[in-house]
């Protein structure tokens, strides 16, 4: 390995730069496993970091990219050998550690998962943090029937349904057999959501009206990707003993609610932290991915970008102009 391409961020005073440049192995200062990266992906957090560091990156220069998948090329760990296919999501890689927008990445072995044999590295990144989070949310919904031994789940609301997490959640939940109500502010995406498996497509405006302490129970469970008033309103419409899986804050990190949904209806607010998911659970979730995600449908909602295109188009995700998933081919 000589020089290879990476996206490198720099910040000097108020001057923030992002560029694709050639670097060498000595640049990679973290970890004990060197991975030849096949693909990365593009998440909302990546957009924040590419814009200005997003208050997440503290040290520069920096290689962003919170996910990657590829092949082990060197390993000082007994956990992995040369040739192993691996996946990385989370652990603050791309924030405090160098990330996946690079043809090579070097990370701690404890951050890596062996890729299941039934998932290619490209599909692994079409899933990525967004799909992994959607899987965690879907298992939280399923927990009402399993862990909590509750009544069967029928109607599930997914907010931010055209986004990375939301779109994959619609696919998974419909495959689990639930009636998915997809909430979106994009009126032109009804067909898109129906093809993914949504039974009902709702206008976001329906959940932006006045919030009462309790409202008519409509949904058995909710997967919320946006936070703020939408989450607060969804809580009031959740039926008794429902689970609301909260995983995002693109609308707002504030939550103005009352205890009424929790103490009158027994609603459970289930926080989803995909960054620090324990390894045992992480491996289980990835082992289930191929059976719960229709890879053909996933391909249909996935775009492939180069690192150069990412540099010029990173703001699209912050403006809500990305539907579905974006895979980054670092070798284009």
- Spatial distance between the Cα atoms of 124 and 321, rounded to a whole number of angstroms: 23
SS3 of residue 215 by DSSP = coil
Report the relative pairing of strands 238-246 and 268-271 from DSSP bridges.
parallel
pLDDT tens-digit readout, 270-303: 999 999 999 999 999 999 999 999 999 999 999 9
pLDDT band at 249 (very low <50, low <70, confident <90, very high): confident
Return the closest-CA partner of residue 244 out of 275, 266, 263. 266
The rounded percent of the chain whose pLDDT value lies above 70 is 100
Tell me the pLDDT of the chain averaged across its residues. 95
Query: What is the predicted pLDDT for the residue at 218?
Result: 96
- Spatial distance between the Cα atoms of 82 and 61, rounded to a whole number of angstroms: 28
Query: What is the predicted pLDDT for the residue at 14?
Result: 87
pLDDT tens-digit readout, 28-63: 999 999 999 999 999 999 999 999 998 899 999 999
Q: Cα–chain-centroid distance for residue 139?
A: 15
Superfamily of 4-115+301-329 according to CATH: Medium-chain alcohol dehydrogenases, catalytic domain (3.90.180.10)
Q: 155 and 220 in contact (C-beta within 8 Å)?
A: yes
Query: What is the predicted pLDDT for the residue at 203?
Result: 93
Structural class in CATH, domain 130-271: alpha beta
Query: What is the predicted pLDDT for the residue at 1?
Result: 57
| Equal fold, 4-115+301-329 vs 130-271 | no
- In terms of pLDDT, which residue wins out, 256 or 80? 80
pLDDT tens-digit readout, 90-107: 999 999 999 999 999 999
pLDDT at 314 over 90: yes
Return the closest-CA partner of residue 44 out of 315, 244, 286. 315
Q: Domain limits of the chain?
A: 4-115+301-329, 130-271
Query: What is the predicted pLDDT for the residue at 73?
Result: 97
- Report the pLDDT averaged over residues 71-87: 97
pLDDT band at 146 (very low <50, low <70, confident <90, very high): confident
């Amino acid at each position: 390995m000589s020089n290879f391409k990476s996206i490198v961020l720099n910040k000097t005073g108020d001057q923030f730069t992002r560029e694709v440049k050639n670097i060498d192995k000595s640049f990679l200062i973290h970890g004990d496993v060197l991975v030849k990266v096949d693909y990365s992906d593009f998440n909302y957090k990546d957009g924040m970091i590419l814009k200005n560091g997003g208050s997440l990156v503290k040290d520069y220069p920096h290689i962003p990219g919170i996910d990657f998948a590829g092949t082990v090329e060197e390993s000082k760990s007994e956990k992995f050998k040369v040739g192993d296919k691996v996946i990385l999501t989370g652990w603050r890689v791309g924030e405090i550690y160098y990330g996946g927008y690079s043809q090579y990445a070097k990370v701690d072995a404890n951050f890596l998962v062996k890729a299941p044999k039934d998932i290619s590295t490209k599909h692994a990144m079409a899933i990525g943090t967004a799909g992994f989070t959607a899987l965690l949310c879907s298992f939280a919904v399923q927990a009402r029937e399993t862990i909590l031994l509750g009544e069967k789940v029928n109607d599930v609301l997914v907010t931010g349904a055209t986004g990375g997490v939301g779109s994959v959640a619609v696919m998974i939940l419909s495959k689990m057999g639930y009636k998915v109500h997809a909430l979106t502010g994009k009126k032109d995406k009804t067909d898109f959501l129906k093809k993914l498996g949504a039974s009902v497509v709702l206008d976001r405006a329906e959940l932006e009206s006045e919030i009462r302490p309790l409202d008519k129970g409509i949904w058995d469970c909710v997967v919320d990707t946006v936070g703020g008033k939408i989450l607060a309103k969804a809580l009031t419409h959740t039926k008794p003993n429902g689970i609301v899986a909260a995983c995002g804050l693109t609308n707002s990190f504030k939550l103005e609610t009352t205890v009424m949904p929790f103490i009158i209806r027994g609603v459970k607010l289930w926080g989803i932290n995909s960054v620090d998911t324990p390894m045992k659970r992480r491996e289980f979730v990835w082992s289930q991915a191929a059976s719960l995600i229709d890879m053909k449908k996933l391909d249909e909602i996935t775009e492939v970008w180069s690192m150069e295109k990412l540099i010029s188009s990173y703001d699209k995700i912050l403006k809500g102009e990305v539907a579905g998933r974006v895979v980054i081919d670092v070798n284009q």
